[in-house]
Chain A
Amino acid sequence: MKLSDLQQWRERAVRDVSLRGERRAWRIVISMGTSGIAAGARDVMRAIMDEIERQELECVEVSLTGSLGMDDFEPVLRVEHAGEEVVYGRLTPDAARRIIAEHVRQGRKVERYVIGLPKERE
């Protein structure tokens, strides 16, 4: 291991802490059933992944699921954090980037795309 590796490692650790998160504190579930895919879920997924890479976010876990059952609002995704769930719909890649920038990074929901009320998990 070189000194530069250690420095990189430290920078990443500092960044992670500054995201007030333990690792994987955020979970994003993308609806990828037939209607989601037809409506553009693949591009939404791409936008999320591009942001995770670009902003070096270690705190986000992403998964795809068959369908979240909200076909009329596709593309749809659900953000889960600290027991709270928010469902966003009628998304575009730009909307997905905003969800990362505003909701995940600043804790501020992107109201314009919210379709499901936050639900406290048991």
Chain B
Amino acid sequence: MDEIALHILDLAVNAVSAGARRVTIAVTEDLAQDRLVVRVADDGKGMDAQHLDAVVERFASEKTGRRRPIALGLALLRQTAEQCGGEMRVESAPGQGTQVEVWMRHGHINRPPLGRRDETIFALCLGAPGVAVEFTHCRNGTVTHFDSAAVCQQLGPGASLQSPEGIRAVREALESKR
């Protein structure tokens, strides 16, 4: 995973798999504090403590003998954060959704680039059109905000994001924010 935007997509797909109706993503780049913070929160089914340990500790999930470690992505992201002088925190409880927060030193030589943010938003809100996706990107005080629910509203009642018009609307909404 050579882009933070790909890690974000991975976290958001976990949220969709957990039955989330809403995924809230925030990226904050604070160059003065040398920090990049990513927060992904969902209202999905959440995880109990044991499950949470298993997904955050990659080796733990390998020990359980599962052929495919679940949510390997979280372990990868934690590793990336730690290699960049930061850390990852995950809060989750059954019925309470999941919140992942990761920070890293913005100027760290190992920090992956943010990457193609808009491609991640596009794939997410069109691949899971039933999930409201909110993305806020704050870079040195400049805020970019995208909300798939607003695009839905603009399309009118009964319209689907997953239609030629819907795809066009999402694409244009993202292009207008460049």
Contact = CB atoms under 8 A, between A and B. Distances in A.
B120 to A, nearest CB: 7
B150 interface: no
A30 B122 CA distance: 14
Interface string B69-80: 001110010000
B127 A52 contact: no
Contacts of A56: 164
Interface residues of A, number: 28
Contact of B167 (A38, A43, A53, A65): A53
Contacts of B16: 64
Interface string B32-73: 000000000000000000000000000000000000100111
Given A45-B127, A64-B127, A58 B163 contact: yes
A37 B10 contact: yes
Nearest to B67: A69
A20 to B, nearest CB: 18
Contacts of A95: none
Contact of B14 (A49, A61, A66): A66
A2 to B, nearest CB: 16
Interface string B155-175: 000000011100110010000
Contacts of A35: 72
Nearest to B16: A64
B164 A64 contact: no
Given A37-B1, A64-B16, A46 B123 contact: yes
